[in-house]
Chain A
Amino acid sequence: MRQETLTVVARVDDIAGLTHSLSLLAEDRVGGDGPRAFQPRLFENPALGIHFARLAAISSQGDPRFSDWLAFESNFDTRTEDPDQARKEHLAQLAELARDGLDMAFRHCERFPSTSAPADFAQYWQSCLVPASASYQGHVERDLARIRLEQRLREVILTFLENVRSAPKAELFKQIRDHVRFRSKSDAALSGFDVDASPPSMPDPQVRSQRLKEGYLPWIVNIAPALPLLGELPNIYAWQKKDVELDYQAQQEAWTAADRKRFADVAATEDHGIQNALTHIVPLRDGEGREGVLRAAHAYIDRMAKQFFDDIGQLGGIPSIHFAKWLLLDEGRRLMFFSNYDSSWESYLGDFVDQAAIGLNLAWSCCENYPKTQFLGWGGADDEERFKAWGRAYQQPTQVFYSAYPELSIAAINNNTWIRHGLQSRPSASQISAWFRRLT
């Protein structure tokens, strides 16, 4: 089972009404005591296979060049290979299983059908799909059931170890396998798991190991999508001289009450689980050629994601992203970025600066007020405080944010997978030592 992503973006004719409806949807929570208590109920139905979803009102912020939008994102399980067909099927499912909630949101949008026929809803959403200019996924080839199974396996093993006497590792490993074999018969959460079967072929630890050893090679092998940038060199060179550095101090001093309210609204939606949603939208800088350069840079990032980053669970060194995507709005004049990430905003933006300044500059250097870069890649995000100020300034609240596993970090999901792989393989002595270290 693989994962696919879709983004529906519909023009809004009543943003105040939309914001109100979204707040109602956000408040209708799963409830109970567990880690999922604060998740919105809307996307909870397991049949939908949703990992992360969001609904966000994207404001024009009074700029007449732009529209108000409703953005709906879903990252979902599918068995369908063809991406377009997978999205079509997912929209049809949503129209069946989540129609009432989505209807509350989309009724504030232009041309939204007034019928109650699911097919009409699905067709409407289909017409509003916007392709991502680049996208990334931090844990490929694991559906919700597998993520839960592997989470449970780790828990069963650690609980078992609480009551077992110390012994040589090989002996302990055997005891663990015996215990899991025994528990699989009675533990519903492990049903169907056969410790003696081979582990799934994907994701493949060997592919990951190989990728991690490749260093800079993938950046060269996958460079084809970036080649159009060569033709843009005169433009890029001209921007070097023309683009001025924003006075971030002055920008902060000029914050209005509306700005402050937006920051507070953003903060109110954050830190309810260990994951957060980033909804970021920024106009492109003025000047001919920016969109072309941005699209080529994004095509390069997208290729790198599919050929390299997805396999290792890091986007350019950032280990904390579950699903992320960029897409263009308003006839290519605004860039939107969605990320579903672990830990706090401060930590995430810090990772950007500490780990991925070059990739980040490639993604955003064509955007308004971004800290000034040299030749698209250098400078820019290496100025931590000013980069974060820029990031916050263009963020909008994610009114409805759903995670199927708000207690699981990328690190945990991937680690659980490697624990399972080790358990079902026959590791060597040194591999057993490394495997035990993963039981943390």
Chain B
Amino acid sequence: MTEPLELEEIQGLILSGYGERPVARYALFEIIDRARAKLWLRELLPELQFSEYRRSRRNQPPFLKPVCVNIAFTHAGFVELGVPAITLAGFSPPFQEGMHEPSRARRLGDDGESSPLRWRWGGPAQPLHGVLAVFAGSEDADPEEWDQIGRFLEKHCTTGNGIRTLEVLDTMPANRLLRKEHFGFRDGIANPRLSGVARPGSSDVIASGEVILGYANEYAKTPMSPHVPADTPGGATLPPTAERADFRDFGRNGSYLVFRQMSQDVKGLWRYLYAAKQKLIDAPAGAAGAEWLGAKLVGRWRNGSPLTRYPEHQGPQSAEDDNDFLYGKHDDAFGSRCPIGSHIRRTNPRDTALPIPHDPELSGTPEDADTRAARLALSNKHRLMRRGRSYGEPLDPAYDPEAMLNSSDESERGLHFLCFNANLGRQFEFVQSNWAQNPSFAGLSSDPDPLLSTHRRFPFDASDFTIQGCPTRRVHDVPRVIEIRGGAYFFMPSRAALRFLSEC
């Protein structure tokens, strides 16, 4: 029996990407006056968007607010707010150490231009304490909605409220029809559903505890969570812990938020695709060849249709996400349709047999449903709830590759990658280091993630991409097309924990 989620307690962004609110800004802030900041938090609390609206019937309250606001803090932010030391020590170790910690940066591939020492925000020297994420708008963005957010931030992010804005990150108004990221591929497709809110019969469901603290995870265990001594001022409002009578649970209904600003070299990628397809003996001729190679690198065609379903040509544009597929089940166990090393396959291998897909003797045959289910269960221990939005103007409004290549626009564009998970080590960091960053992923040898991780110094400089089939083909020297410009780990607390923060 799956435990229902306490929706009143869970901040809205954890369970929804707010697709209905196309305009978004993220304000990164520093706390400069603890007492004022606490007062401000108390005032802010009623304005925040929580998740109870998800329970209401159509056209009945509570509704999603016109301006959806959520807040999250770094570990340093909790220190500034005066959270007890024992609670601070109870957070997940990666969160305590921060994304910029040198060993972590090596593991995540954040080197060279992406080094935390060069980040615009979130680097080791910056006093980054929290982020306010503000979403507004209805159908399509108009300037009034930007102003709405602007007015909200002006009102709240003031020294009078004890905080100082370090950086305001804008996003590109989300186009709900196209939903493209800057390289031109449809994005944001494959988010899992949480068991606590999934409708019966839903596919791709994972345990709520994979994202939200306080609920059972895929191991049927409750994630470790920071505790507060029950006699701390304000502690009484927090929920009890399962094991310790004299402590309260600060983490329940909260989630760890990964935030990385990634700039994308759109022309660099397409320039490479046009050049590399020339050397590929059986790539389609002309522009179609570059599109085909791009689809191989990504694992989907530009309109989002998956290669596993549509190996030869782009599938039909569908309003619904085309995501209900598995690799082994759909005759693609060995990568002949969607390459083993492609971006979508290595960041969510589904029922791919790891670490060696092509060795059925060792890892079981893909025809066997139990084997596939066991593999899928393993992959599902490393899922992320992604909430990213693009920033910067598209190089071409229609994302046409040739038009993008011919554009004279040299401004920066990229993705504000946001994702939630309950276990930073087992989920985000695992996916980034073992799957994306790893040149030997799934029996490959020198193939890191073609979008995220080529030409990194560690574990060694690698940049091949292998296209399985008969015969197997390779391309070399895939360029480095993503750089990290800023990043941090945040924790997005529950309503009760926010109330505690305003009182402790």
Residues of A within 8 A of B (CB): 33-35, 37-38, 154, 158-159, 161-166, 169, 172, 208-209, 212, 247-250, 252-255, 263-264, 267-268, 270-274, 312-314, 319-320, 342-344, 346-347, 350, 353-354, 382-386, 388-389, 406-409, 411-412, 414-415, 418, 434, 436-440
Kindly identify which residue among A249, A344, A388, A437 contacts B90, using a CB–CB cutoff of 8 Å. Answer: A249
Kindly identify which residue among A385, A408, A411 contacts B223, using a CB–CB cutoff of 8 Å. Answer: A385
A346 near B466: Cβ-Cβ < 8 Å: no
A440 near B358: Cβ-Cβ < 8 Å: yes
Do A436 and B362 contact each other (CB < 8 Å), given the known contacts A268-B102, A319-B355, A412-B445? no
Q: Give A312 to B363 CA distance when docked, in angstroms.
A: 11
Do A273 and B460 contact each other (CB < 8 Å), given the known contacts A346-B425, A384-B221? yes
Do A212 and B472 contact each other (CB < 8 Å), given the known contacts A247-B244, A383-B221, A385-B223? no
Say whether B429 faces chain A, with CB atoms less than 8 Å apart. Answer: yes
Stretch in B190-198, B431-439, B495-503 touching the partner: B431-439
Say whether B114 faces chain A, with CB atoms less than 8 Å apart. Answer: no
A436 near B433: Cβ-Cβ < 8 Å: no
Say whether B103 faces chain A, with CB atoms less than 8 Å apart. Answer: yes
Do A172 and B445 contact each other (CB < 8 Å), given the known contacts A165-B281, A252-B90? no
Kindly identify which residue among A250, A319, A350 contacts B362, using a CB–CB cutoff of 8 Å. Answer: A319
The 20 sampled A-B contact pairs (Cβ below 8 Å) are A158-B472, A158-B474, A162-B473, A250-B244, A268-B102, A271-B459, A346-B426, A347-B433, A350-B430, A383-B219, A384-B221, A384-B426, A385-B224, A388-B425, A406-B460, A409-B355, A409-B440, A415-B358, A436-B470, A438-B359
A440 near B361: Cβ-Cβ < 8 Å: no
Which are the 3 A-B pairs with shortest beta-carbon distances? A267-B103, A35-B460, A437-B358
Say whether B227 faces chain A, with CB atoms less than 8 Å apart. Answer: yes
Closest to A37 in B: B460
Contacting residues, chain B, for A350 (C-beta < 8 A):
381, 426, 430
B438 near A274: Cβ-Cβ < 8 Å: yes
Contacting residues, chain B, for A319 (C-beta < 8 A):
355-356, 362
B471 near A172: Cβ-Cβ < 8 Å: yes
Q: Which of A388, A389, A406 has the most CB of B within 10 A?
A: A388
- Interface set, chain B 225-263, CB cutoff 8 A to A: 225, 227, 243-244
Say whether B334 faces chain A, with CB atoms less than 8 Å apart. Answer: yes
A249 near B227: Cβ-Cβ < 8 Å: yes
Contacting residues, chain B, for A342 (C-beta < 8 A):
355, 440
B440 near A247: Cβ-Cβ < 8 Å: no
Contacting residues, chain A, for B178 (C-beta < 8 A):
none
Closest to A267 in B: B103
B433 near A346: Cβ-Cβ < 8 Å: yes
B356 near A415: Cβ-Cβ < 8 Å: yes
Closest to B93 in A: A263
A248 near B224: Cβ-Cβ < 8 Å: yes
Say whether B36 faces chain A, with CB atoms less than 8 Å apart. Answer: no
Contacting residues, chain B, for A268 (C-beta < 8 A):
102-103
Contacting residues, chain B, for A384 (C-beta < 8 A):
219, 221, 426
Say whether B115 faces chain A, with CB atoms less than 8 Å apart. Answer: no
Do A274 and B473 contact each other (CB < 8 Å), given the known contacts A247-B244, A346-B434? no
Contacting residues, chain A, for B102 (C-beta < 8 A):
268
B472 near A270: Cβ-Cβ < 8 Å: no
Say whether B104 faces chain A, with CB atoms less than 8 Å apart. Answer: yes
Give the A-B pair count, Cβ closer than 8 A: 180
Say whether B34 faces chain A, with CB atoms less than 8 Å apart. Answer: no
Contacting residues, chain A, for B359 (C-beta < 8 A):
411, 415, 418, 438
State the Cβ distance, B198 to closest chain A Cβ, in Å.
Answer: 22
- Interface set, chain B 327-374, CB cutoff 8 A to A: 334-335, 340, 355-362
- Interface set, chain B 80-138, CB cutoff 8 A to A: 86, 89-90, 93, 97, 101-104, 106-107
Q: Give A162 to B429 CA distance when docked, in angstroms.
A: 34
Q: Give A49 to B243 CA distance when docked, in angstroms.
A: 53
Residues of B within 8 A of A (CB): 86, 89-90, 93, 97, 101-104, 106-107, 219, 221, 223-225, 227, 243-244, 279, 281-282, 334-335, 340, 355-362, 378, 381, 423, 425-426, 429-430, 433-434, 438-440, 442-446, 458-461, 466, 468, 470-474
Contacting residues, chain A, for B221 (C-beta < 8 A):
383-386
B244 near A411: Cβ-Cβ < 8 Å: no
A407 near B445: Cβ-Cβ < 8 Å: yes
Q: Give A406 to B460 CA distance when docked, in angstroms.
A: 9
Kindly identify which residue among A249, A320, A415, A438 contacts B224, using a CB–CB cutoff of 8 Å. Answer: A249
B362 near A253: Cβ-Cβ < 8 Å: no
State the Cβ distance, A192 to closest chain B Cβ, in Å.
Answer: 23
A439 near B440: Cβ-Cβ < 8 Å: no
Given contact pairs A158-B472, A319-B355, A418-B359, a sample of 9 additional A-B residue pairs in the complex whose CB atoms are under 8 Å apart = A163-B281, A268-B102, A274-B438, A319-B356, A320-B355, A386-B224, A406-B459, A436-B471, A440-B357
B356 near A164: Cβ-Cβ < 8 Å: no
Q: Which of A162, A209, A411, A415 has the most CB of B within 10 A?
A: A411
Closest to B241 in A: A249
Contacting residues, chain B, for A169 (C-beta < 8 A):
470
B471 near A439: Cβ-Cβ < 8 Å: yes
Closest to B220 in A: A382
Contacting residues, chain A, for B281 (C-beta < 8 A):
162-166
Do A252 and B361 contact each other (CB < 8 Å), given the known contacts A33-B461, A271-B433, A273-B460? no
Contacting residues, chain B, for A271 (C-beta < 8 A):
103, 106-107, 433, 458-459
Contacting residues, chain A, for B442 (C-beta < 8 A):
440
A437 near B334: Cβ-Cβ < 8 Å: yes
Contacting residues, chain B, for A250 (C-beta < 8 A):
244
State the Cβ distance, A23 to closest chain B Cβ, in Å.
Answer: 15
Kindly identify which residue among A247, A344, A383 contacts B107, using a CB–CB cutoff of 8 Å. Answer: A344
A385 near B356: Cβ-Cβ < 8 Å: no
Contacting residues, chain A, for B440 (C-beta < 8 A):
274, 342, 407-409, 411-412
Q: Give A403 to B71 CA distance when docked, in angstroms.
A: 46
Q: Give A247 to B335 CA distance when docked, in angstroms.
A: 45
Kindly identify which residue among A161, A263, A273, A312 contacts B459, using a CB–CB cutoff of 8 Å. Answer: A273
State the Cβ distance, A388 to closest chain B Cβ, in Å.
Answer: 7
Contacting residues, chain B, for A172 (C-beta < 8 A):
470-471
Contacting residues, chain A, for B227 (C-beta < 8 A):
249, 253
Q: Give A264 to B334 CA distance when docked, in angstroms.
A: 39
